[in-house]
Amino acid sequence: MDFGLTSEQEAIREAVGQICARFDDAYWLKRDREGGFPQDFYDALAKEGWLGICTSEAQGGAGLGITEAAIMMRTIAESGAGMSGASAVHINIFGLKPVDIYGTEEQKNRMIRPMAEGREKACFAVTEPNTGLNTTQLKLRAEKRGSVYHVSGQKVWISTAQVADRILLLARTTPLEEVKKATHGLSLFYTKFDRERIRAREIEKMGRKCVDSNELFFDDFQIPEEDLIGEEGRGFEYILQGMNPERILIAAEAVGLGMAALRKASQYARERVVFNRPIGQNQGIQHPLAKSWCELEAAWLMVMRAAWLYDNGKPCGEAANAAKYLAGEAGFEACQTAVMTHGGFGYAKEYHVERYLREVMVPRIAPISPQLVLSFIAERVLGMPKSY
């Protein structure tokens, strides 16, 4: 068993860290206040080829694994970019995995390369307002007439839809009443985001202002049949391919953000003097921070284990879900502890940790809630009856 990073993995951390260092706390504070996609940050990573880290070499990427991508995403979040930085590039890293596996050669060449090179942005539209985590009940309808699918309905919480050129869309092609299993009859499309036919209304939200999330309204949105991925009706099965890597990456981001919070908090605790000594000399301040560090390190081991399983072609659902759960909770605990360590100043924007606390709620809630992860583990690992 080897717990060390390879020299290539160390080099990834170093190189990505150097790019991130050009985008300091003041940059992310401004993005948090004003919103506006962090295009210069996105371009800086794209220019050095980092958006294609997981993309195969045939499509212009580096052909590395989810392990390397997790190291990169942790580094981004840990730099202080947090979820604002990580979510700006997240979908480019893993998002088109289903196209890579199930797409035709023509689709791969047309769709994957522009994303890996950062020339195109995409959004991933699964969640619907009246379906929640029960994905098989999705209602957004895509009806085929001739060679074109006509889409009408609604999605919600779709990130980066304000800036996306393309949309990866899960829609129902056969009504729920007509399929044998609820997982059947959903289809996956990757197509142009047509603003004439899709209205994106930005949701005002708690944090990560610079990476928008939206309600989408589809009004006879038309998709040519060449933009259907794989076979009609098997979209649910296809998106499962992307779910484990997504959980691994978001877990890595939560660990990074938690570590950023600990860095700020321990620096403050060393410098802030109250009762004639640094507050960090009190065990009441030290222990919660040290405990958070232990929890983040343990979560990171689970992230690396899940990534190793995935990269070695082994089943990784349990580990990926456990990593996402542990990292989300540990990241939250670290950010909350960092705010409390700063006392009143923790509530001031200029100390940054309140932004981290608002942002760390994202990897806690999405793409799956802690409750649903625990229900999955209870059923699949502990053999209890399915509860959801």
Ligand X SMILES: Cc1cc2nc3c(=O)[nH]c(=O)nc-3n(C[C@H](O)[C@H](O)[C@H](O)COP(=O)(O)OP(=O)(O)OC[C@H]3O[C@@H](n4cnc5c(N)ncnc54)[C@H](O)[C@@H]3O)c2cc1C
Residues of this chain that interact with ligand X (CB under 6 A) are 123-127, 132-133, 157-159, 213, 362, 365-369, 371-372, 375, 387-388
Count of alpha carbons within 13 angstroms of residue 7, beta-carbon side:
0
What is the number of other CB atoms lying within 10 angstroms of the CB of residue 367? 18
Q: Please report how close the Cβ of residue 131 comes to ligand X at its closest, in angstroms.
A: 7
Q: Please report how close the Cβ of residue 188 comes to ligand X at its closest, in angstroms.
A: 13
- What are the tokens at 298? 């343990």
Q: Which is nearer to ligand X, 15 or 374 (CB)?
A: 374
Considering only the C-alpha atoms of the chain, give the largest distance between any 2 of them, rounded to a whole number of Å: 79
- What are the tokens at 31? 């993005």
Q: Which is nearer to ligand X, 213 or 341 (CB)?
A: 213
Q: Which is nearer to ligand X, 64 or 93 (CB)?
A: 93
Three-class DSSP category at 76: helix
Chain centroid offset of residue 359 CA: 12
Q: Which is nearer to ligand X, 56 or 375 (CB)?
A: 375
Q: Which is nearer to ligand X, 109 or 136 (CB)?
A: 136
Residues 6+ apart with CB under 8 A from 31: 38, 84, 209, 210
- Using CB positions, name the residue nearest to ligand X: 132
Q: Which of 88, 151, 156, 92 is nearest to 119 (CA)?
A: 92
Q: Please report how close the Cβ of residue 248 comes to ligand X at its closest, in angstroms.
A: 16
**CA-to-CA dists, residue 97 to 55, 116, 216, angstroms:** 8, 11, 23
Which residue(s) pair with 180 in the sheet? Answer: none
Three-class DSSP category at 31: helix
Q: Please report how close the Cβ of residue 368 comes to ligand X at its closest, in angstroms.
A: 6
Which residue(s) pair with 152 in the sheet? Answer: 141
Phi and psi torsions of 187, nearest 5°:
-125, 155
Identify the DSSP state of 180: S
Q: How far apart are CA 34 and CA 173, in angstroms?
A: 40
Asked if 187 and 179 count as a contact pair (C-beta separation under 8 A), the reply is no
Chain centroid offset of residue 307 CA: 15
Q: Which is nearer to ligand X, 169 or 304 (CB)?
A: 169
Asked if 150 and 142 count as a contact pair (C-beta separation under 8 A), the reply is yes
Q: Please report how close the Cβ of residue 372 comes to ligand X at its closest, in angstroms.
A: 5
Q: Which is nearer to ligand X, 156 or 279 (CB)?
A: 156
Q: Please report how close the Cβ of residue 129 comes to ligand X at its closest, in angstroms.
A: 8
- What are the tokens at 3? 């717990």
CA-CA-CA-CA dihedral for 258, 260, 266, 270, to nearest 10 = -170
Q: Which is nearer to ligand X, 109 or 369 (CB)?
A: 369
Q: Which is nearer to ligand X, 167 or 353 (CB)?
A: 167
Q: Please report how close the Cβ of residue 387 comes to ligand X at its closest, in angstroms.
A: 6
Q: Which is nearer to ligand X, 18 or 387 (CB)?
A: 387
Q: Give the angle 368-369-374 at the CA atoms, nearest 5°.
A: 105
Q: Please report how close the Cβ of residue 99 comes to ligand X at its closest, in angstroms.
A: 17
Give the containing element (helix H, strand E) for 117. none
Q: Please report how close the Cβ of residue 127 comes to ligand X at its closest, in angstroms.
A: 4
Q: Please report how close the Cβ of residue 335 comes to ligand X at its closest, in angstroms.
A: 15
Q: How far apart are CA 98 and CA 187, in angstroms?
A: 12
